[in-house]
Structure formats: structure tokens, C-alpha cells
Structure 1
């Protein structure tokens, strides 16, 4: 039963919803927004339930480890607009990482009350790949959930696949620590990957041009951090250029 004076707390394109709430718990929503929330969350919940049911009935020997080895990463930024083809995601939260699959990464991030920069990796694939990954990293799994300890092995797996689509080397093993610090290392690597992409796209730009594009892409970070990233990329590209020039003599 609802209070006829209760307003829907959702918004329509940035404006307060003018409709009366049809439900009050857990949040006051009109019928249209209640359906919108259900469409974003319920399909993934049903897929998770199905995956759990199927996994419990499949022998361990049936897991295809080749799927884990051959899995291909896809840029995370291109998945944040809404529905998309099925992907397997690695979402970090402190010293843990959730490995699951979805066709709406944006909705899944929202359902977990996390931010987009919590996503460490997105792989092309669905239930079979998810199941294979769960088997590969079983020793780090928290019970029967999709949450795993963010171990150095899992971090390196994500790092190597992200590096492959960017054409750069993954973070050296010596720089990775097990536990919460691995999440910090993941974020540091993600910043470097973005800096590499911006610098390469602009073709060795000035610091001002680099910062301008960084801000246009809404990558965040403090001004000093962005300057430091530019300097790091500039030095790396200059060293690579000098090395290539030396080899050609």
C-alpha cells in the first residue's frame, strides 16, 4: 500500500520524476521506474542463478581451460552505455574481485554500488568462460560466491589481457602485492594504460594537449597526477625513439 502523496525519487533525464510513487520500499518509485530497475537487475540475477545451478551439476573435468588461456579483452569504456553482447567482468572491491558475466556492465556496477573504475577487466564471452575462470582460480574463491581474493595470479591474468589490447607490457610481477594493495596496483596500471593511449593517439603531444584530451575523456585524477603521467609517457616514448634510431645506424 502506498501513500498517495509520496513522489517518485527517480529522475527523467536529470529532472525530478513528476509521477506518484507506486511502491515505497526499499525506495519510493513510480511504476515506470520500478520496471526500469527490474529490467536492469533481474536478468543478471536470473543468469547468475542459472550459472550456479549448472555449475553444481557439471564435473570439474568438463571445464575448458583453453577458454581461460584464449580469452580476449575488450575496452571497458565501450561497455558503459547500456546493453551489449555478453562479457565476463572482473570487478574489484578492496582486496576482493568479483568474476561474473553480464550483458549490461553499467547495470551490474550500479547494482553492486561501485564505480566504473572498479572494473579491472572485461572479456568477450559468457557462462562457459565464467565457469572456466571460476575453476582456474578456485583456490582464491570465497565459498560458493562469485567473489575471489584479489591474488597476484588473478591480477596478472587481468593485467596481461588488458596489456594485449593496448600493445604494452603488463605490470612486472615484482610490483604486485597480494590483497588490498593489488587493487591499488590495478588502478595504477589502468591510469598508465589510459595515459599510453592518449599519448599514442595524439602522436607525442605537448603536455597541454595531453591534459586537454585527458580531461575531455573524463579520466579524472589530480592535475599533478596527470602531469606526472604525461612526463612518464614522454620519457618512455623518447627512450623508445632514441633506441630505434640507434639500432638503425
Structure 2
């Protein structure tokens, strides 16, 4: 049967029991939090890039995208990247990276780069950490070596570097897909894929890819 206690004894019992309950609750919460952080890290570590150009034709499976705008980058989720870019009034070459995945991966990436986040928005400072994350994953599917960390910075200059790397990765893919094409064929396919750029930039890209492939064919790196 319940035992009637005076106020003094009630307080004494509470002082003994409640701290133990709180400690147990805190331990459980910390264990749950650590498990969640581990799961988020696993999602981020396992994330692999998918070619951007194939996503710019309409609806597709869910992806998490990185879109740059000046010194900031937006990390969001969509099933229609073309529509999302248009809604942001940006060019398609502003898309730096696309990773197959959904809201769970998006949240994991938001947690990964939380130190650079603008409030509760999907916008982040274009920090060196974010730049190298995107660069390394694009390199894995395009054969382009990521830039060394000493070349990365923050702000608009980092965004410009990332755009150059994205352009270079696309050039590598076009050249490789066509099997060492002529300059005219290279430029024609580039235009068909809607990547933009001036004729002189495309000639420079073609020459760079041609030289790289020739060195690889000869087995030299000089």
C-alpha cells in the first residue's frame, strides 16, 4: 500500500530518485545521439556522385544537389534538378554536384557542414571543406584529379574554382564518351548537351583534354 509522506520526506525522496532518473535518461539520449551521428556519417561517406547532365532533362530519381551562387552553396533535395535550377534563376553550370539520395542524405550533409550553414536555411558558405567534398566526388566519376587544398579558399574565388573544375570534368566526359574526337565533334556534342561556354573556352578545353589523353596513351605524365 502507498505510504503517506510529509513534505520534507517527499523532497528527500525526490532528491535521491530524480537525479538517478535524469542520469539514466541522459545516458540513453547520448547513446541515441551517437548512433544517429554514426548513421549520418555513414550516409555521407558512402555518397557517390552521378553525372549532372543526365539530370537536366526533367524528372528523375531523388538526388541531393550542391548549387553555387557567388560565395554560397545550396544543399538541397529534388526529383527535378532542371526545374530547381530554373526556380533559383541560376544557370545549369551552377550545379556543382549531384548525389543519388533523399531527405536522409540531405539532413546528413546539413549536419556534416553545419559550421558553415546560414541559420536554418539550405544555404552554406562555400567553405574549403565543401569545395573539396564536391571536387573529390566529381573526380571519382570523371577521372579528374581534385585540386589540392592549398588552392581552395572561401567566398566567390572558391566558387569560381569549383566552376572551373566542373567544366573540366564535363570536358573529360565528353572527350572520353566520343573516343578522342575531332575538335569540331567535341564542340558539337558540348553544345548539344547545353553546357554553354565561349568557342575559345571550348577550344582550350579540347586542347587540354587532347593533350592529356595523348600523354596517357604514350604512358607519360610530363
Q: Tell me the TM-score normalised to structure 1 length.
A: 0.70
Aligned to 1:105: 81
Do residues 128 (structure 1) and 119 (structure 2) align?
no
Report which structure shows greater RCO (CA 8 Å, sep ≥6): 2
- Given that residues 92 and 195 in structure 2 are in contact (C-alpha distance below 8 angstroms), is that contact kept between their aligned partners in structure 1? no
Give the match for residue 207 of structure 1: 183
Shift of 1:60: 7.2
Q: Which residue of 2 aligns with 1:6?
A: none
Residue correspondence of structure 1 range 183-202 to structure 2 within 5 A = 183-202=159-178
Aligned to 2:16: none
**Equivalent of 1:174 in 150, 163, 167:** 150
Larger Rg, first or second structure (1 or 2): 2
Task: Give the gaps of 5 or more residues in structure 1.
Answer: 1-57, 245-249
Q: 2:51 aligns with which of 52, 69, 75?
A: 75
- If the length of structure 2 is used for normalisation, what is the TM-score? 0.78
Q: 1:62 is matched with which residue: 19, 28, 36?
A: 36
Distance 1:148 1:176 in 2: 16
Matched, 1:230 2:206: yes
Cα RMSD, aligned residues only = 2.0
Aligned-residue offset at 1:218 = 2.6
Flag as ranges the 4+ runs of structure 1 deviating above 4 A. 58-61
Provide the rounded CA distance (Å) in 2 between the counterparts of 1:102 and 1:126: 8
SS at match of 2:212: helix
Count of residues in Structure 1 that have an aligned counterpart in Structure 2: 188
Deviation at 1:236, TM superposition (A): 1.0
Moved more, 165-174 or 179-188: 165-174
Once the two structures are TM-superposed, the CA of residue 61 in structure 1 deviates from its matched residue by 5.5
Superposed counterparts of 1:35-54, under 5 Å: none
Q: Distance in 1 between matches of 2:187 and 2:58?
A: 28
CA 1:130/1:201 → structure 2, altered by over 3 Å: closer, same or farther? same
In the alignment, is the contact (CA less than 8 A) between 2:73 and 2:125 conserved in 1?
yes
Cα gap change, 1:130/1:225 in structure 2, threshold over 3 Å: closer, same or farther?
same
Q: CA deviation at 1:225?
A: 0.7
Mark the CA change 1:226 to 1:77 in structure 2 (over 3 Å): closer, same or farther: same
Q: Which residue of 2 aligns with 1:241?
A: 217
